[in-house]
Amino acid sequence: MNSLWKKIITKTTLPKLASGERYSDYKLAKGYRELKILLKRYLKDIILITAGIFSASFGFKGFLLTNHFIDGGATGISLLISALTQIPLYILIICINIPFIFLGYKILGKVFALKTALAIAGLALCVGTVNFPDVTQDNLLVSIFGGFFLGAGIGLAVRGGAVIDGTEVLAIFLSKKMGTTIGDIIIIINVLIFSAAAYFLSVEIALYSMITYLAASKTLDFIIEGIDEYIGVTIISSHNEEIRQMIINEMGRGVTVYSGKKGYGKSGETKNIDIIYTVITRLELNKLNTEIEKIEPNAFVVMNSVKDTKGGMIKKRPLDH
Lowest pLDDT segment from 220-229, 255-264, 271-280 = 220-229
Per residue in 234-263, pLDDT tens? Answer: 999 888 899 999 999 888 888 999 888 877
Mean pLDDT estimate for the chain = 83
Q: Are 168 and 182 in contact (CB under 8 A)?
A: yes
Q: How many CA atoms lie within 13 A of 219 on its CB side?
A: 24
For residue 283, give the nearest of 241, 215, 229 by alpha carbon.
Answer: 229
More confident residue, 298 or 307: 298
Q: Are 166 and 87 in contact (CB under 8 A)?
A: no
Taking the C-alpha atoms of residue 201 and residue 173, their distance in angstroms, rounded to an integer, is 30
Ordered by start, the domain boundaries in the chain are 42-225, 230-306
For residue 320, give the nearest of 256, 254, 249 by alpha carbon.
Answer: 249
For residue 117, name the pLDDT band (cuts at 50, 70, 90). very high
Per-residue pLDDT at 243: 92
Strands 256-264 and 300-306, how do they pair? unpaired
pTM, two decimals, is 0.75
Q: Are 55 and 156 in contact (CB under 8 A)?
A: yes
Taking 60 as the threshold, does the pLDDT of residue 1 lie above it? no
Which residues, in sequence order, are CB contacts of 133 under 8 Å at separation 6+? 62
Query: The CATH number of 230-306 is which of 3.40.50.300, 3.30.70.600, 3.30.70.120, 3.10.20.600?
Result: 3.30.70.120
Phi, psi of 109 (to 5 degrees): 110, 170
Alpha helices in 164-300 (DSSP H): 167-178, 182-200, 203-225, 240-246, 285-295
Q: 133 in helix, strand or coil?
A: coil
For residue 165, give the nearest of 151, 176, 184 by alpha carbon.
Answer: 151
Q: 150 in helix, strand or coil?
A: helix
For residue 265, name the pLDDT band (cuts at 50, 70, 90). low
What integer is the mean pLDDT of 123-152? 92
Per-residue pLDDT at 139: 92
More confident residue, 107 or 15: 107
For residue 69, give the nearest of 139, 164, 148 by alpha carbon.
Answer: 139
Taking 70 as the threshold, does the pLDDT of residue 159 lie above it? yes
Longest dimension (CA), the chain: 74
Q: Are 229 and 305 in contact (CB under 8 A)?
A: yes
For residue 121, name the pLDDT band (cuts at 50, 70, 90). very high
For residue 144, name the pLDDT band (cuts at 50, 70, 90). very high
For residue 317, name the pLDDT band (cuts at 50, 70, 90). very low
Q: How many helices (H) does the chain have, and how many strands (E)?
A: 12, 4
Taking the C-alpha atoms of residue 43 and residue 37, their distance in angstroms, rounded to an integer, is 10
Per residue in 25-41, pLDDT tens? Answer: 777 777 778 778 888 88
Q: 15 in helix, strand or coil?
A: coil
For residue 319, name the pLDDT band (cuts at 50, 70, 90). very low
